[in-house]
């Protein structure tokens, strides 16, 4: 795949922090957090390949595609190295893979609410237990029709958007959506990547996120460079409790 520069925004001055959003989202997810961090840091937000305002390739997007697109974009922006890399959900998976591929460029990694599965089968089973609408959009043979119907619904694009919003979900391309789900989330490779990691790594898990994540972690022996924090949140620690997220982040910067 030919990689193109990702949509990015930079605010603040100081040591650089790169924020990577999750599945069916965009850099808008960090609108509150980035303002808080930008008081004394340079904060770089990006839209992953196929999401938000970034290019929409007509091929299914893989782990390597996302990592290389981020790498090329940060080089183009001349971001000072090493930087702190912070990812949410699928963005946490991509961030950790980036840090393992380019360890000299990253000072530390912070992973918020990543999907933590041991196998692809376990991941599929967990998603099959989610709500009917989510299953319909991700698993149904008619999912392309459902997405087309959703996109045809009228919506006010000028309405003030919260961090978690339908507009960002609908802007994701089909190839990024299905590639991210099939090739990144269902790959269930986070635990292997954690065992390969050498950098200081913070792993934040929501107590009220999928219980299987904590069960899987309890069965693992991970390297000493990894710090695990179980917090009183669900899947969206950053968007729904930005003050807590900022506290956790600053302790590890």
pLDDT digits (tens, 9 = 90+) for 183-194: 999 999 999 999
Closest C-alpha to 55, from 45, 42, 44, 70: 70
pTM: 0.90
* Confidence (pLDDT) at 158: 42
Mean pLDDT of the 91-100 span: 98
Domain range 8-252, CATH class: alpha beta
pLDDT digits (tens, 9 = 90+) for 26-42: 999 999 999 999 999 99
What phi, psi does 108 have (nearest 5°)? -160, 165
| Domain boundary assignment for the chain | 8-252
The tokens describing 54, both together, are 């970034």
| Other C-beta atoms lying within 10 Å of the C-beta of residue 152 | 7
Helix axes 143-152, 132-139, angle to 10 degrees: 110
Residue 157: band (very low, low, confident or very high) from pLDDT cuts 50, 70, 90: very low
Residue 24: band (very low, low, confident or very high) from pLDDT cuts 50, 70, 90: confident
């Amino acid at each position: 795949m030919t990689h193109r520069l990702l949509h990015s925004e930079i605010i603040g001055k100081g040591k650089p922090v790169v924020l990577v959003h999750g599945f069916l989202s965009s850099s808008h997810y960090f609108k509150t957090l980035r303002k808080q961090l930008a008081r004394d840091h340079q904060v770089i937000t990006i839209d992953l390949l196929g999401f938000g305002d970034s290019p929409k390739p007509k091929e299914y997007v893989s782990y390597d595609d996302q990592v290389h697109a981020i790498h090329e974009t940060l080089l183009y922006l001349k971001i000072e190295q090493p930087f702190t890399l912070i990812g949410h959900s699928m963005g946490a998976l991509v961030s950790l893979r980036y840090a393992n591929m380019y360890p000299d460029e990253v000072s530390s990694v912070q992973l918020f609410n990543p999907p933590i599965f041991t196998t692809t089968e376990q991941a599929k089973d967990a998603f099959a237990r989610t709500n009917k609408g989510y299953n319909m959009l991700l698993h149904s043979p008619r999912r392309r029709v459902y997405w087309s119907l959703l996109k045809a619904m009228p919506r006010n694009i000028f309405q003030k958007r919260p961090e978690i919003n339908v507009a960002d979900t609908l802007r994701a391309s089909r190839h990024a959506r299905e590639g991210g789900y099939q090739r990144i989330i269902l790959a269930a490779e986070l635990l292997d990547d954690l065992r390969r990691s050498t950098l200081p790594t913070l792993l934040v898990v929501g107590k009220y996120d999928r219980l299987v994540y904590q069960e899987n972690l309890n069965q693992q022996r991970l390297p000493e460079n990894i710090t695990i924090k179980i917090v009183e949140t669900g899947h969206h620690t950053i968007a729904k409790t930005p003050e807590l997220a900022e506290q956790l982040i600053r302790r590890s910067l």
